[in-house]
Amino acid sequence: MVTNDMNPTSAGEPGAVRVGPIEDPARLPEAVELYRTVLDLGPGDPAVSPRLLAGLPRNGGSVIGAYAGDALVGFAYGYVGRDPVTGEVYHYSQAAMVGRDWQGRGVGRALKQGQREYVLATGLTRMRWAYDPVRARNAHFNLDVLGAQGRWFVRNLYGPDTHGLGAAEPTDRLVVEWDLTGAPSPPSGPVAGPVVGPAAGLAADRLPAWGESVPAGDDLLLGIPRTWSRAEPEPGRAAQVRAAVRDALESALDQGYVAVSCGAPPPSAGTGGGARTDTAYYRLRREA
């Protein structure tokens, strides 16, 4: 059994969160309920099935839980995937959920590390998953905290999303790949380094706006909203930003770049006060 213990990082609460496979089928409805609660799903909204979760680990998939005592506070699940072009076999992580009271306390990272150990034990060395590229917090977690790289862009992966929205929103996704054979996460801090200044190859007055990409030395910087809720109250503006980010990412990835970092450093981090406080910046790097 694969387990990881981690101490909560906020509120000073004692104890540890244990991470490992959910092996008892009777506990799978708890995972489904957590899924529904985190996504704020209504009674008629579709959710993951306990029977699907029961079948995954018996057929190469993963169902990993995070427990505080006996309470399930997070879970992740995935399955074996095969690249239709290259034939490469990898583990595809479909979703990772953390209870609202436990978000921002290291549970998500512990879940992914537990999933990583589980997948390595099956003999696979790569993991992929998809996320909404305009969500800067998710981008930072995937790229900077875990060390995955954004390699593929898929338009409207799940079809229009109308849940909780006044109008349908496209489900554009950036697909990342995580090399499980290296260090579990970057050794120290973001891989991108400073956003502006001599080390970054970009002056503060050349930072990109939302949806704009600009050269930064040999890299590209792409601006996105630091907090997406800033854009959501204005559907027209949100659609424009999404379209611009989509076009910029597709163009960069087609040219051989990969997304390696996303962050919004404060002025004290060496931006000279030139970075917009409402903007996060992707760094895209061309592969050798």
The predicted-structure confidence for 151-167, as pLDDT tens digits, reads as follows 999 999 998 876 655 56
The whole-angstrom separation of Cα 39 and Cα 73 is 14
User: What is the pLDDT, as a whole number, of residue 14?
Assistant: 39
| CB contact set of 148 (below 8 Å; sequence gap of 6+) | 127, 129, 142, 176, 177, 178
Q: What is the pTM of this model?
A: 0.86
Mean pLDDT for 237-261 is 96
Which of 87, 88, 106 is closest to 98 using CA atoms? Answer: 106
CA dihedral for 99, 105, 109, 111, sign (positive or negative):
negative
- Angstrom distances, CA of residue 149 to CA of 109, 140, 187, 211, 260: 16, 11, 15, 19, 5
Confidence (pLDDT) at 16: 83
What share of the chain in percent tops pLDDT 90? 69
* Ramachandran area for residue 279 (φ above 0: left; ψ -120 to 50: alpha; else beta): beta
- Per-residue pLDDT tens digits for 167-220: 678 899 999 999 999 876 655 444 444 555 544 555 556 789 999 999 999 999
> What CATH number should be reported for the domain whose range is 4-179?
3.40.630.30
Decide: residue 60, CB within 10 A, 0-12 exposed, 13-18 middle, 19+ buried: middle
CA–CA distance, 71 with 77 (Å, rounded to integer): 18
Of 269 and 88, the structure prediction assigns the larger pLDDT to 88
Q: What is the distance between the alpha carbons of residues 204 and 223, in angstroms, rounded to a whole number?
A: 13
**What is each CA distance from 212 to 18, 99, 106, 133, 158, in whole angstroms?**
42, 34, 32, 14, 25
Which helix H or strand E contains 131, and what residues bound it?
Answer: strand 126-131
Between CA 277 and CA 287, with CA 283 as vertex, the angle to 5 degrees is: 180
Q: Would you kindly state where each structural domain of the chain is located, as residue ranges?
A: 4-179, 204-286
